[in-house]
Structure 1
Amino acid sequence: MPHAKAVLVLDDEQELRDDVGRFVADAGFTVETAGEATSLSDADLVSFDIVLLDIAMPDADGLAVIERLSTLALRGPAPGILLISGRGEDMLQTVAAVARRAHVDVVGVLQKPFEPDDLLALLQGWRPPAARGAAKQWSVEQIRPQLAQAVATRTLGVAFQPKAGSGHLGFSGAEALLAGHLPVIGPVSPELIVEAASTDLDLLMALSLEVVRLAAEGCRSWSEEGWRGPVSINLPFDVLGVPDVIDHLEATLRDAGLAPSQVIFELMEDAIYDSSAASLSVLARLRLAGFGLSLDDVGRRQSGLLQLANLPITEVKIDLQLLAQARLWAKSRSIFASIAELGQRLGLSVVAEGVETPEDLLFIRKLPVDYVQGYLVSRKLPLPDLLSMLTASSSRGALVPPHVAAPLS
């Protein structure tokens, strides 16, 4: 198979199958079409890069095809799927969620009838997972000693993702994030680093304090250059149970020359469900000490919003996955808007994560969202690169060049 993308159009409607097949072939793809899936062998399926899949076919529906692809993905490379249907948004959203949970790569979704250009954009924009440069996966047991060494020798890497005001797009602080790299091992996903640290509370606390130290140094650096904005730091909920945790946090910041008012600690939304009296007491004391508290990834588990009143938070960050879904689904857009409006009514700052396009920004600017964070503004950057970005933005008064950001509307 030539490595120009090979596409299988799998739909029981012959007219659509033929029209789409011709259009995709004219666009330079290798194309085959089929009206049913039962005659296709596993070898047939894995010979394609993308399967354009109708989720409702009489012989074997899209879910049956997804089950086959999920099994194939366990053995080796399997095609991605582009889901199409005339059964409505709800069915597409549900089947897409099933596919992702079955570890099948979802290229995109389209409701029938769809525009050919929308189909072409999805096909051209997709890359197979093997081409995305994924870092080698290490086990927790391999990571833990290397992480402990990096923390002890102060060689841990931290990067900063800036936060911008949703209207003016001026610098409004930055979030400190693990850089995703450990000495000796090399690239490691930040999620795996945290997972390894979480198996040892002492290591998790040491990691947290080291991130706080590096984050504070970053905030002090941009403050000394005249930039105003707090640093946000992810605080694992488990460390709230460490004796004298507030004293340790305050001492680390004091040594770095930073005041509590310049720091926002971010808690995962799951903290809502684990908030014991002791943990709530620590959170209350953090607020009394002058720290900001942000609830991160809001929107993953909407039932938790009922518990917002129990936490002394100052900010909510709407989960980036919810924004990604809002690009496709009307229900997700309504949920996103409801969270933003609830945050405003509760007197909280509202941050939208995962803002990637001018269209995202236009959507967000119609809602009571105070700050945006995401690739439209910047990826996470080493501190020197962040400071250079701030200097470059001085002349235009915004982090994002005018030709990149959408106009105010």
Structure 2
Amino acid sequence: MNILLIDDDPLMLKLLARQLAKFGLGDVTACERAHDALVVVEARRGAAELIFCDLQMPEMDGVEFVRQLAHIGFKGGLVLVSGEDERILQAAEKLARAHKLDVLGSLHKPVSPAQLQEILGLFSNRPALVPRAFRKGYGPDELQRGIVGGQMVNHYQPKVAFASGTVMGVETLVRWRHPEDGLVFPDQFIDVAEEYGLIDHLTHAVLTGALEADRRWKAEGLSLGLAVNVSMENLTNLEFPERVERAVAQAGLPVSSLMLEVTESRLMKNRLESLDILTRLRLKRIGLSIDDFGTGHSSLVQLRDIPFSELKIDRGFVHGAHRDASARAIVEASLSMARHLGMTTVAEGVEDRDDWDFLRASGCDLAQGWFVAKPMPAAELPDWIAEWDLRRPSLVGEQS
């Protein structure tokens, strides 16, 4: 593995290189200037698979270096190192992630062998990046053909109870099975659907597919709550509640089993109209979840004005909250507020056992994330549940 170290302190470079050598990693390049490091990275693909970068450097600091890495499309792992205040380090880490860099974490100086071992373990065990067809744009005509042609497929990610480990439901996540590009993820086409007035057709396809899957699960004896994402653009049509109600009735399912997850990624075009629609959905006994709480425009105002029944804490606060004082405070405050409002709480982004243990001890209701399960096709869910039932006693303290 090719490792690149960047620090303006030669002593720190030698210390870190020596520690890496003890782990059997001797293929290390050290640079005292970020400019020199960029030359190394750009010289040839694979010249640096893992980078350790100090934040406080002259000429080009670590934040500027991160921006340049993103600009040249660096695909390796990145570790930020600093003796700065923890919150500054966390801010830099979040910025690097926002640049779509593969950030393994951050280290405080002086770097301890235990810290380094943990980071190296994350690098060697991290899941391979899913190859995403092409990062190309799709036009509205092509997307419309995909929707009409039945190319939209749903995957489902389980939500389980922290207290008992019981599988309580699933979130529906749409994919586009493109005839040329393979499986295309929603971040490549949702904005197009919203911008060109296709979101109602897309949401209908996702909803009817999810209801059909739920009908089959119930026929097999699986009673699960079903969550489907809706866009703020769906909430501009006053007939939307009736359309949802009809779709549920045609599937022969109770409306109470459906939860609509609302992510306010963009401002409401007509707040009065949206409030009308959301209130009527609740009157019809359809659940409402405020998704990605604490980000975007999802805020306390929405909790005050809209009768949400579920609060989903964004993964950006959940993962690693046990060791991040700021994130921990936000998670605990969100849980307390939701309890006082009588809302069910869901932690998104539960990625490891530490996340699970912290959120369970904090009294969160439901867990969702790769530690539990990745999204999967509907046909795979029954077998996964059977495997989960064997695993869950170890997570909730039951005797096997």
Name 2:357's counterpart in structure 1. 362
Q: How much has 1:146 moved relative to structure 2?
A: 4.2
Structure-2 change in CA distance of 1:314 and 1:103 (3 Å): closer
Distance in 1, Cα, partners of 2:68 & 2:222:
54
Q: 1:249 aligns with which of 244, 249, 271?
A: 244
Amino acid of the residue matched to residue 235 of structure 2? L
- Tell me if 1:298 matches 2:293: yes
Distance in 1, Cα, partners of 2:258 & 2:88:
43
Q: 1:214 aligns with which of 186, 209, 216?
A: 209
Name 1:168's counterpart in structure 2. 164
Structure-2 change in CA distance of 1:345 and 1:393 (3 Å): same
**Alignment coverage as a number of residue pairs:** 393
Distance in 2, Cα, partners of 1:365 & 1:302:
27
Name 2:107's counterpart in structure 1. 110
Tell me the alpha carbon deviations over residues 226-262 of structure 1, each in whole angstroms, 9 at most, x when there is no partner. Answer: 3333100001111121242222212211111112111
Q: 1:82 aligns with which of 79, 84, 97?
A: 79
Give yes or no for contact 1:69–1:79 (8 Å, CA) kept in 2: no
Q: How much has 1:186 moved relative to structure 2?
A: 1.6
Structure-2 change in CA distance of 1:94 and 1:387 (3 Å): same
Distance in 1, Cα, partners of 2:178 & 2:18:
49
Structure-2 change in CA distance of 1:200 and 1:10 (3 Å): closer
Name 2:326's counterpart in structure 1. 331
With the length of structure 1 as denominator, give the TM-score of the two structures.
Answer: 0.86
> Equivalent residues in 2 for 1:49-88 (5 A)?
49-58=49-58, 60-73=60-73, 77=74, 80-88=77-85
Amino acid of the residue matched to residue 233 of structure 1? V
Tell me the alpha carbon deviations over residues 169-214 of structure 1, each in whole angstroms, 9 at most, x when there is no partner. Answer: 101011111134234442211222322222332x211111111111
- Tell me if 1:317 matches 2:309: no
Name 2:5's counterpart in structure 1. 9
Distance in 1, Cα, partners of 2:206 & 2:67:
42
> Equivalent residues in 2 for 1:6-405 (5 A)?
6-29=2-25, 30-37=27-34, 40=36, 42-46=38-42, 47-58=47-58, 60-73=60-73, 77=74, 80-126=77-123, 132-137=129-134, 139-142=136-139, 144-201=140-197, 203-270=198-265, 276-301=271-296, 304-324=299-319, 326=321, 328-393=323-388, 396=390, 400-403=391-394, 405=395
Matched residue SS, 2:187: helix
Amino acid of the residue matched to residue 24 of structure 1? L
Distance in 1, Cα, partners of 2:309 & 2:194:
26
Structure-2 change in CA distance of 1:31 and 1:45 (3 Å): same
Distance in 1, Cα, partners of 2:211 & 2:230:
14
Q: How much has 1:167 moved relative to structure 2?
A: 1.1
Q: How much has 1:102 moved relative to structure 2?
A: 4.4
Q: How much has 1:393 moved relative to structure 2?
A: 4.9
Amino acid of the residue matched to residue 69 of structure 2? L
Structure-2 change in CA distance of 1:356 and 1:102 (3 Å): closer
Q: Percent same amino acid at aligned positions?
A: 27
**Runs of 5+ in structure 1 lacking a partner?**
none
Give yes or no for contact 1:89–1:329 (8 Å, CA) kept in 2: no
Distance in 2, Cα, partners of 1:10 & 1:229:
51
Matched residue SS, 1:331: helix
Matched residue SS, 1:312: coil
Tell me the alpha carbon deviations over residues 61-104 of structure 1, each in whole angstroms, 9 at most, x when there is no partner. Answer: 3234334434433xxx4654311112121110122233334454
Give yes or no for contact 1:146–1:184 (8 Å, CA) kept in 2: no
Give the CA RMSD over aligned residues. Answer: 2.8
Distance in 2, Cα, partners of 1:272 & 1:72:
33
Give yes or no for contact 1:138–1:188 (8 Å, CA) kept in 2: no
With the length of structure 2 as denominator, give the TM-score of the two structures.
Answer: 0.88
Distance in 2, Cα, partners of 1:208 & 1:59:
50
Distance in 2, Cα, partners of 1:193 & 1:72:
24
Amino acid of the residue matched to residue 290 of structure 2? L
Distance in 1, Cα, partners of 2:397 & 2:269:
42
Matched residue SS, 2:319: helix
Distance in 1, Cα, partners of 2:138 & 2:41:
37
**Runs of 5+ in structure 2 lacking a partner?**
none
